């Protein structure tokens, strides 16, 4: 999927109100990010990705398989409540430079980490 299409989906998910609809579209967005070697080239970069976006670290073998990593990330999203889903969406909005997140509670450290991911995704 192209980066422009990914950005359109992030905008769509940000405007939705129903948590189940948000989760369904987030599944697709996260799938595209994980399977896109143009966005994240090396599997080893996913250790920082999961820590920064989901706040978790998996065992090393999970990062060797994008398919296994995707399954773990989707399982996390499935368990999220509305607040956690919205925080994840805000992080995606910031990284893809769509517009500033609404009512963001991120501190400056989180903002710095997300801006670093923005540089990785935009190949800066």
Splitting the chain (124 residues) into consecutive groups of 10 residues, what average pLDDT does each group show? Answer: 83 91 95 92 92 94 96 97 95 82 53 68 70
- Report the pLDDT value the prediction gives residue 107, as an integer from 0 to 100: 53
pTM metric for this prediction: 0.78
How many Å apart are CA 84 and CA 111, to the nearest integer?
16
- Report the pLDDT value the prediction gives residue 2, as an integer from 0 to 100: 76
- Report the pLDDT value the prediction gives residue 95, as an integer from 0 to 100: 87
The residues near 115 (Cβ < 8 Å, ≥ 6 apart) are 94, 95
- Report the pLDDT value the prediction gives residue 27, as an integer from 0 to 100: 96
- Report the pLDDT value the prediction gives residue 118, as an integer from 0 to 100: 66
């Amino acid at each position: 999927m192209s980066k422009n299409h990914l950005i359109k989906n992030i905008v769509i998910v940000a405007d939705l109100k129903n948590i189940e609809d948000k989760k369904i579209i987030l599944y697709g967005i996260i799938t595209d990010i994980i399977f896109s070697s143009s966005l994240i080239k090396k599997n080893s970069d996913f250790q920082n990705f999961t820590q920064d976006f989901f706040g978790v670290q998996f065992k090393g073998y999970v990062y060797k398989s994008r398919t296994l990593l995707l399954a773990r990330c989707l399982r996390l999203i499935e368990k999220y409540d509305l607040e956690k889903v919205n925080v994840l969406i805000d992080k995606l909005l910031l990284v893809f430079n769509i517009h500033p997140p609404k009512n963001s509670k991120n501190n400056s450290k989180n903002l710095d980490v997300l801006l670093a991911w923005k540089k990785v995704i935009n190949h800066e």
